[in-house]
Amino acid sequence: MDAHDTELKRELDATLHARRELGEEYESALVDSFLEKVDQRVDAVVDRRVRRQLAEQQMAQARGARSTRGSDSWAERFGFGIISLVLAIPLSAIAVTQAGLSGLVVAWAGIVGVNMVQAARSNAALFGRRRAERDSDWQE
């Protein structure tokens, strides 16, 4: 039982005590007064719960927006490109020493392929929109 419930219990006791002292002619006014206090208590609890739920939803939306926006950042794409070029040097050297020119071509085809997949993943909305536009043009 929290403080507000204890307060309501005291209010009820006071209302019942006042009813005994004042008589039945004031019963309606006393009950109305008590019910108004209960109504205010219920409104306060509901208001607090709704505010808490709205705040939680806003936080969840902010976290979701931040995580999707962060995955497509320019710095991440730039870093991926730099790392792939840095790794291309030893991969090229290994490919040339092991398989010659054909090994070099295969290594660079893999590097280009990985970068194309990364670009497609980063720009999925762009590719999806173009596909949707092309499909709608086809249907007309």
Whether 92 contacts 104, CB under 8 Å = yes
| pLDDT for res 46 | 87
- Distance from C-alpha of 39 to C-alpha of 114, rounded to nearest angstrom: 64
Kindly state the DSSP code that residue 1 receives in the 8-state scheme. -
Q: In this structure, how many other beta carbons lie within 10 angstroms of the beta carbon of residue 95?
A: 20
Q: Would residue 92 be called left, alpha or beta, if left means φ above 0 and alpha means ψ between -120 and 50 degrees?
A: alpha
Query: Does residue 63 surpass a pLDDT of 90?
Result: no
Q: Among 5-14, 82-91, 125-134, whose mean pLDDT is lowest?
A: 125-134
Non-local (6+) Cβ contacts of 33 within 8 A are 15
pLDDT of residue 74: 76
pLDDT at site 138: 45
Report helix, strand or coil for 72. coil
Give the confidence band of 126 by pLDDT, cuts at 50, 70, 90: low
* pLDDT, tens digit (0-9, with 9 covering 90-100), for 89-125: 888 999 898 999 999 999 999 999 888 888 887 776 6
Of the CA atoms within 13 Å of residue 123, those in its CB half-sphere come to 12
Q: CA torsion, points 76, 79, 83, 84, in degrees to nearest 10? A: 70
Q: What is the mean pLDDT of residues 69-84?
A: 75
**DSSP assignment letter at 54:** H
Domain ranges of the chain: 1-71, 72-140
Average predicted confidence (pLDDT) for the chain: 80
To the nearest whole percent, how much of the chain has pLDDT over 90?
Answer: 9
Lowest mean pLDDT among 23-32, 39-48, 108-117, 118-127: 118-127
pLDDT for residue 139: 47
Going by C-alpha positions, the residue among 121, 115, 123 that lies closest to residue 87 is 115
Token output for 26: 């004031």
